[in-house]
Structures are given as structure tokens and as C-alpha cells.
Amino acid sequence: MRLGDLARLVRSKNAGPFTLTFDVIFDEEAAFDRVTGSGIIDAAWVARTYGVPEGDVQVHAYRPGLAIKVTIPRELPAGSRGDRDIFGAQQSAPLIELDIPSEDA
């Protein structure tokens, strides 16, 4: 099952001019537990997927909010020449499409 099928919201946005943040928010504890328990969303996966150094990736699971927050540096400062996504709002597709292993796996 894809992360986009399990989560209520998967989005990306600027967290200042030099950083992108991704929010994954769930409606159900079971879905949150399945994703966080799989360990699939980690700094190594994010670094490989977004082409950033693993040491620059922050991944935080926040159980009270049933949410996962990921923060990475932007390739270019927001709004600078060559920036193709000034608001950082079009970067979540790899997360939405991420296959989450079944709990049986």
C-alpha cells in the first residue's frame, strides 16, 4: 500500500528560504504505527530519494499528532534563479508513492 493511501495528508512546503519540510499526517493510530513501525521513512531513504546528504535530513515522528515531519535543505534558495518550485509545494510525490510494507512482511 502507498503512503498516500494510508495518510490523510502528505505535503511539502518551505520552512524558510533554505529548507523544505514534509508533513505526513494520519487519521488513525494503526496507520501511523504501521508506517513508523516499518522504519521505511528514515534519513537514509530521504537522502537517497531527494539527493541530499544523510546528515542534513531530520525525521521526527510525533505520536500525539499522529504525524511524521521530515526536513531537508533546499537545492536552491526559494525564489532564486533556477528555482522551479518557489513554495516547495511540489516535492511530496516520492513520499505519496512510497510503498509501505504490510504488517505481515
Per residue in 5-54, pLDDT (tens digit) is 999 999 999 999 999 999 999 999 999 999 999 999 999 999 999 999 99
Quote the domain boundaries for residue 30. Answer: 3-75
CATH number at residue 67: 3.30.70
pLDDT number for residue 9: 98
The structural domain count of the chain equals 1
Please name which of 43, 50, 33 lies closest in space to residue 101, comparing C-alpha atoms: 33
Give me the residues paired with residue 13 across strands: 21
| Residue/partner pairs of 51-54 with CB below 8 Å, 24 or more apart | 51/75
CA-to-CA distance for 52 and 74, rounded, in angstroms? 9
Per DSSP, the three-state class of 7 is coil
What is the mean pLDDT of the segment spanning 50-69? 98
Is pLDDT above 80 for 103?
no
pTM of the model: 0.92
Residue 98 lies in a domain: no
Cell digits for 30? Answer: 494503526
Please name which of 21, 22, 32 lies closest in space to residue 100, comparing C-alpha atoms: 32
With cut-offs at 50, 70 and 90, classify the pLDDT of residue 98. very high
